[in-house]
Amino acid sequence: MARNPERRAALVDAAVEVLAREGARGLTFRAVDAGAGVPVGTSSNYFTDRDDLLAQVDARIHQRLAPDPSVIAELLKGPKDRSLVLEFMRDVLARAVRDRTGYLALFEMRLEATRRPALRASYTKSVRGDLVDGMDFHRTAGLPGGDETVTVLYLAMLGLLLEHLTLPGVLDGVLPEVTVPDGLVERIVATIVPDSAPEKD
């Protein structure tokens, strides 16, 4: 296996682009080589097979979409109430909208996972890990609502991201007073998260 880390990252980013632009079926080593502008055959020196490439794509998008720890730390200085949950959800949304390509590639990976057991296993572990981490974070931070709240909120945000990133015209203006996506995130949080008083330590 070749070990140039910058070239590896460039190849994986090219794979993310190919996934979003052409769909999972378009993801071949040859398309990745072309996307990264490297000689044909380069990818095969960096990835053992397509499942290995997909696992590295998963890890890479994860890294690209990860929250900025300093943003999270700053937000955590505020009261641990519903408005803080809204700030976190706004941050999730902003990151997804900023890296729309990465997020669309994640949706392609989900559909590809229905066809590839190895990807399904690794990707399930990764998505479930994120959800469980989200529950732990919510609990540890003392935010209102329990694991069920976090799960329902997660599903509504997943639905919002799918709708807004693939067919933005569906939600736009459907609620006359609610902007999309910002106002809608606010309505999602107000509907799902209990309006408890801020906790005092």
40 binding a copy of itself? (CB under 8 A): no
Given 71, 118, 131, 141, the residue binding a copy of itself (CB under 8 A): 131
Contact string 144-183 vs a copy of itself (x = CB under 8 A): ---xxx-xx-xxxxxxx-xx-xxx-xxx--xx--x-----
Given 98, 124, 196, 199, the residue binding a copy of itself (CB under 8 A): 124
117 binding a copy of itself? (CB under 8 A): no
Smallest distance, a copy of itself to C-beta of residue 86, A: 14
Contact string 17-36 vs a copy of itself (x = CB under 8 A): ---xxxxxxx----------
Smallest distance, a copy of itself to C-beta of residue 137, A: 15
**Helices 5-22 and 100-113, packing angle to 10 deg:** 80
- Neighbour count for residue 59 (Cβ, 10 Å): 13
Are 106 and 22 in contact by the 8 Å Cβ rule? The answer is no
41 binding a copy of itself? (CB under 8 A): no
Contact string 97-116 vs a copy of itself (x = CB under 8 A): -------x--xx-xxxxxx-
61 binding a copy of itself? (CB under 8 A): no
The pair of three-digit structure tokens given for residue 163, joined into one six-digit string: 């709708």
Which long-range contacts link 1-9 to residues 24+ away (Cβ below 8 Å)? 1/45, 1/46, 1/48, 2/42, 2/45, 2/46, 7/36, 7/38, 7/42, 7/46, 8/46, 8/56, 9/60
Residues between 72 and 91 with contacts to a copy of itself, criterion CB under 8 A: none
Are 178 and 187 in contact by the 8 Å Cβ rule? The answer is yes
Phi and psi angles of residue 156, each rounded to the nearest 5 degrees, phi first = -65, -40
Identify which of 199, 175, 166, 194 has the alpha carbon closest to the alpha carbon of residue 82: 194
Q: Which residues bind a copy of itself (CB under 8 A)?
A: 20-26, 104, 107-108, 110-115, 120, 123-124, 127-128, 131-132, 147-149, 151-152, 154-160, 162-163, 165-167, 169-171, 174-175, 178, 184, 187-188, 191-192
